Copies of this chain bind each other. A is one copy, B any other.
């Protein structure tokens, strides 16, 4: 089952933004850092928080460190939130504006 650390990690807007950006593919610490008006060490702490929750993982690429989204944990989080609020898939599809033909 899902760790409480994942929910804590999602509590900060910068960390949520990092997750959103990593959806598209890995980015280095520096590339990520450019977008935020925050010191690199502070960003690094956010990476640690996300890494502790296993929402992201790091790989070294020569000089730089690349961060990637951990897709399987991301999916677990989505499922956990759906369970939390008792959303059934039909309801969710409707909420997203998709419709089924009235019989």
Residues of A within 8 A of B (CB): 4, 7-8, 10-11, 13, 16, 19-20, 23, 69, 74-75, 77-79, 81-82, 84-87, 89, 91-93, 95-96, 98
Contact = CB atoms under 8 A, between A and B. Distances in A.
13 contacts: A10-B10, A10-B81, A23-B85, A23-B86, A69-B85, A74-B85, A75-B87, A75-B92, A77-B81, A78-B81, A78-B92, A79-B96, A81-B81
A78 B87 contact: yes
Copies in the complex: 2
Contacts of A13: 4
Contacts of A69: 85
A81 B73 CA distance: 13
Nearest to A81: B81
Q: Considering the complex of A and B, which 7 residue pairs feature the smallest CB-CB distances, nearest first?
A: A74-B85, A11-B11, A23-B86, A81-B81, A8-B11, A7-B11, A75-B95
B77 A95 contact: no
A93 B85 contact: no
